[in-house]
Amino acid sequence: MILFLDDEINVLRSIERLFRAKKIVIHTTTNPEEALRLIKEKEVKVIVSDFRMQEVNGIEFLKKVKIIQPTTYRMILSGYADENLINSAIQNEDIHEYLLKPYDQESLINKIKTIYLDRGGDGSTNTESR
Amino acid sequence: MSQHNSLERQIELYKNALERERLSRERAEDLLESRTSMLYLVNQKMSSQYEQMAKRNKEISYLNSVVWILNESNCNEEIIKKYLDLTCALTGWGPAGGFLFVDEDLNFLNSNLVVSSKNNMSGISGFENLSKELHEIAPKKEEVNKIFKKPRKIEIGKNSYFIMPMEVSKSIDGLLIFECSKDLDESSAIIDIVANGSYQLTNYIERKKSEEKLKNNFAKLKDTQAQLVHSEKMASLGVIAAGVAHEINNPICFVLSNTETLLKYIKSLESLIYEYRDLANKKLDKESIVQIHKKEQEEDVDYILADCPELLRETVEGVNRVKDIVSGLKTFSHIDEADEKFVDVNECVESTLKIIWNELKYKCTLHKDLGELPKTYCYPGQLIQVFTNLLVNSSQAISEKGNIYIQTLYLSNEIIIKIRDDGSGISEENLKNIFTPFFTTKPTGKGTGLGLSISFGIIKKHNGKISAKSKLNEGTEFQISLPIKDSL
């Protein structure tokens, strides 16, 4: 499963459109609790989280993800984040990567796809239920 | 016989009378002479006293004139020239010149020269030559200070000069030099008068110098203050810039992505339209209908058609959000506006919230209770700066989740603004210092320590009051009261 967490529904909608066009199925949610529940229940190969959210900040959220499912590839996708926080989070391996908003469609999709396949995602992502 | 005797006696009597008369005349003449000489002496004394009085008068009028030129002239050079002229007129000395040392070195060659109107004898070139001579006598500060500490007469070549120091702030700033007669008595009264004049002169120059210094310092102080206010504004801006960057990048992110997606949609629809046009020119058969259906599915056309309005609606919403954020920033950039405006203070509160909502919304629940307020003349930008400051402080006092309460009300001709939070609060000890410039409990680089002191200054400028109540771990409340000002 590929999971996106962002408190801005419109961002998630734009990402859904992007991946739909490439026939890659993704899951999105604006609710961190919901995201954690999915991670507890299913195998999530890649998680992409916003940094600044009303409920929680992205790094704190991904720390929880790391505990529940350490194999998940954890990314931050944000328009702004405290660089010091990001760098130390990368050093602690709380997060693997930091991507900037606005994203470039091609590179975002290629990056996610590559990581997903590397982690044993079965190429035919479109078979997964949305 | 008896007749003869009586005649003689009569003669005797006349003789005696004559003698008496002569004696008394002589006495009278003596008296007259002595009176005359006394009168003469008195007269002489009076005339000398008159002369002295005339002299005194001249001296007093000289000193008066000196004081007068001090008040009437604009620059030091003009004052000195007039002083030299007055002194030459009083004493008959001259020509005269004033050397004003330019630098700390007290060097004659490097000094401004002012020459009296009477300069026919030696002229400017004469004084320039004189400066060389003087330079040889006293080439540096030390010698100048030593040799010319007191008024004195010196001989250079054939000429005699009377020289007085212009002592400003206990150091010699210049010299006044008069060509004088060889037999000028250095202890004569006129020297005191002239020295008194020069004392008035230097006193005045000194006063003017310190006035200027004061003025400069004041200007510098005002400059520094303006800089501080500006840097505080920048600091507030820094706090909200992070929020703004995030808040602008979010809508830009999906607007950009959506637009690129829309371009792909258009390409899909375009290719489908071409297919349909082809089909229109052909004879319809079952196979081509199956074909076009397959193509439609490939291009996901049902989804595209359903999604297009949604996509555009979201995109427009995103662009509008960016527009709002930018207009909020514009308010912030108007903080320096110099004019008082007739506004509703609630509008200032709303503008402030628009700007810093991004900073607050992640951890604060905002409780707004804005009462109806009459308009008042104020500096809206500056009030926004104050509100921004208080709200950012409140938000920083809240570590994870908390509440901020904003209340405005109109009470006995005053506008009351209360901003309260349930954050960490301020200790009693620190509460005393919060309005003190540079007082901060924030770590280095996080706070200037100026926010509240500047807010205090701004509210004071509005003739208002700002006060704070706080309890550790319970929260803080700031109250601002602004008197209504309904005309400028």
Q: How confident is the model at residue A130 (pLDDT cuts 50, 70, 90)?
A: very low
Chain A: residue whose CA lies nearest to B317: A10
**Nearest chain B alpha carbon to A12:** B254
Question: Are B269 and B322 a contacting pair, CB within 8 Å?
Answer: no
Phi, psi angle pair for B160, to nearest 5°: -110, 145
Taking an 8 Å cut-off on Cβ atoms, the answer to whether A21 and B300 are in contact is yes
* Confidence at B417, pLDDT banded by 50, 70, 90: very high
Comparing C-alpha atoms, which of B387, B391, B392, B388 is closest to residue B482? B387
Q: What residue type is assigned to position B331 of the chain?
A: T
**Phi, psi for B110 (deg, rounded to 5):** -115, 55
Q: Please tell me the distance from the alpha carbon of residue B52 to that of residue B189, in angstroms, as a whole number.
A: 12
Identify the pLDDT of residue B337: 63
Residue B398, chain A, CB below 8 Å: the answer is no
Amino acid present at B326: V
Task: Give one word for B445, left, alpha or beta, with left for phi > 0 and alpha for psi -120 to 50.
Answer: left
- Give A-chain residues touching B254 at CB under 8 angstroms: 8, 10-11, 13-14
CB A54 within 8 A of CB A10: no
Decide if A22 touches B, using CB distance below 8 A: no
What is the spatial distance between Cα A106 and Cα A1, in angstroms, rounded to a whole number? Answer: 20
pLDDT at A81: 72
Provide the pLDDT for residue A62.
96
Q: How crowded is residue B479: how many other Cβ atoms within 10 Å of its Cβ?
A: 15
Domains of chain A: 2-118 (3.40.50.2300)
Residue-level pLDDT at A128: 41
Average confidence (pLDDT) over B295-315: 93
Q: What is the pLDDT of residue A115?
A: 93
Q: Is the confidence at residue A129, as pLDDT, over 50?
A: no
Q: Are B250 and A8 an interchain contact pair (Cβ–Cβ within 8 Å)?
A: yes
State the pLDDT at residue B127: 73
Strands (E), B134-214: 152-156, 159-168, 171-180
- pLDDT, greater one: A19 or B233: A19
- The three-state secondary structure class of B178 is strand
Residue B269 CA, distance from chain mean position? 69
Chain centroid, CA B398 distance in Å? 40
SS3 B187: coil
Q: Rounded to an integer, what distance in angstroms lies between the CA atom of residue B13 and that of residue B117?
A: 82
Q: Residue B153's closest CA among B175, B178, B125, B123?
A: B178
pLDDT at position B240 over 70: no
β-strands B402-411, B364-370 pairing: parallel
Question: pLDDT digit string (tens) for A6-44?
Answer: 988 999 999 999 999 889 999 999 999 999 999 999 999
B261–A14 C-beta distance less than 8 A: yes
Are B177 and B116 within 8 A, CB to CB? no
Q: How many helices (H) and strands (E) does chain B have?
A: 11, 12
A80 Cβ under 8 Å from any chain B Cβ: yes
Which residues 6+ apart lie within 8 Å of B418 measured at CB? B405, B406, B407, B408, B477, B478, B479, B480
Q: Supply the pLDDT for residue B242.
A: 63
Q: Do B249 and A101 touch (CB under 8 A)?
A: yes
Interface size A-B, in CB pairs within 8 Å, comes to 70
CA pseudo-torsion sign B284, B287, B293, B295: negative
CA B329, CA B396: separation in Å to the nearest integer?
21
Q: Dihedral sign for Cα B455, B457, B459, B461, please.
A: negative
Q: Count how many Cα atoms sit within 13 Å of the Cα of residue B103 in the half-sphere of its side chain.
A: 5
pLDDT, one tens digit per residue, over A71-122 is 999 999 988 777 888 999 999 999 999 999 999 999 999 999 999 999 887 6
Q: What is the per-residue pLDDT across B432-461, written as a single tens digit (0 to 9) for each?
A: 888 877 677 766 555 666 788 888 888 988
Asked if B317 lies within 8 A of A10 by C-beta distance, the reply is yes
**What proportion of chain A, given as a percentage, has pLDDT over 70?**
93
Does the ipTM exceed 0.85?
yes
* B300:A101 CB<8 A: no
Kindly state the average pLDDT of the residues B220-241: 72
Place of tokens 């606005």: A102
CA B455 – CA B341 distance, rounded (Å): 18
- If one counts every other C-beta atom within 10 angstroms of the C-beta of residue A58, the result is 29
pLDDT of residue B335: 56
List, for residues B49-98, the tens digit of each pLDDT value: 888 888 888 888 888 888 888 877 777 788 888 888 888 888 888 788 88
Rg (CA), chain A: 13
pLDDT band at B116 (very low <50, low <70, confident <90, very high): confident
- Is the CA virtual torsion B88, B89, B91, B92 positive or negative? positive
A12/A35 Cα distance (integer angstroms): 13
Q: Please tell me the distance from the alpha carbon of residue B106 to that of residue B112, in angstroms, as a whole number.
A: 11
Q: Is A103–B257 a contact, with Cβ atoms under 8 angstroms apart?
A: yes
Closest in B243, B248, B318 to A10, CB measured: B318
- Give the DSSP letter string of B21-65: HHHHHHHHHHHHHHHHHHHHHHHHHHHHHHHHHHHHHHHHHHHHH
Indicate the domain borders of chain B: 1-68, 73-187, 236-483
| Residue of A127 and B378 predicted with greater confidence | B378
The string of DSSP letters for B103-145 reads STT--GGGEEEEE-S--TTTHHHHHHHHHHHHHHH--SHHHHH
Give B291→chain A minimum CA distance, Å: 21
- Is A102 close to B246, i.e. CB distance below 8 A? no
Q: Could you tell me the two tokens for B182?
A: 């060889």
Given this model, what pLDDT does residue A126 score?
A: 46
Chain B touched by A107 (CB under 8 Å): no
Question: Which phi and psi (to 5°) does residue B255 adopt?
Answer: -65, -45
Tell me how close the Cα of A45 comes to any Cα of chain B, in angstroms: 24
The distance of A8 to chain B (nearest Cα, Å) reads 8
Q: How many CB atoms lie within 10 A of CB A106?
A: 11
Positive or negative, the CA dihedral B333, B335, B336, B338 is: positive
Cβ-count burial of B458 within 10 angstroms (0-12 exposed, 13-18 middle, 19+ buried)?
buried
Of A14, A15, A21, the CB nearest to B264: A21
Q: Which residue has better confidence, B189 or B162?
A: B162
* Cβ–Cβ gap A102/B257 under 8 Å: yes
A17 touches chain B (CB under 8 A): yes
Query: What CATH number labels B236-483?
Result: 3.30.565.10
CA distance A116 to chain B (A): 21
* CB nearest to A80's CB, from B246, B257, B362: B246
Which of B41-55, B65-79, B100-114, B172-186 has the least mean pLDDT? Answer: B100-114
- Who's near B104: CB < 8 A, 6+ residues apart? B141
Kindly determine whether residue B254 and residue A10, on different chains, have CB atoms separated by under 8 Å: yes
Is A119's Cβ below 8 Å from some Cβ in B?
Answer: no
The answer to whether B363 and B401 have CB atoms below 8 angstroms apart is yes
Between residues B341 and B416, the one the model is more confident about: B416
Interface test with B, best of A6, A8, A10 (most B CBs within 10 A): A10
Touching check for B254 and chain A: CB below 8 Å? Answer: yes
- Helix locations, chain A, DSSP H: 9-21, 32-41, 58-68, 83-91, 105-118
Confidence class for position B239, pLDDT limits 50, 70, 90: low
Q: Residue B247 — very low, low, confident or very high, per pLDDT cuts 50/70/90?
A: confident
How far apart CA A97 and CA A75 sit, in angstroms, is 5
- pLDDT tens-digit map of B388-399: 889 988 988 998
Whole-number pLDDT of residue B79: 83
Q: CB-based contact (8 Å) between B251 and chain A?
A: yes
Query: Which of the residue ranges A2-6, B203-207, B451-455 has the most confident prediction, judged by mean pLDDT?
Result: A2-6
Q: Which pLDDT band, with edges at 50, 70 and 90, does B330 fall under?
A: low
Task: Give the model's confidence band at B405: pLDDT under 50 very low, under 70 low, under 90 confident, else very high.
Answer: very high
B282-309 per-residue burial string, b: 16 or more CB within 10 A, e: under 16: eeeeeeeeeeeeeebeebebeebeebee
pLDDT range class, residue A127, cuts 50, 70, 90: very low
Nearest CA in chain B to A82: B242
Does the CB of B242 have a partner CB in chain A at under 8 Å? yes
Q: What percent of chain B has pLDDT over 90?
A: 27
Residue B317 near chain A (CB below 8 Å) = yes
Beta bridge partners of B111: B101
For the domain with range B73-187, which CATH number is right: 1.20.1240.10, 3.90.660.10, 3.90.550.10, 3.30.450.40? 3.30.450.40
Tokens of A40: 């507890």
Beta bridge partners of B100: B112, B174
Q: Which two tokens stand for residue B70?
A: 């001090």
Between B227 and A127, the more confident residue is: B227
CB contact under 8 A, B307 and A14: no
What pTM was estimated for this model as a whole?
A: 0.54
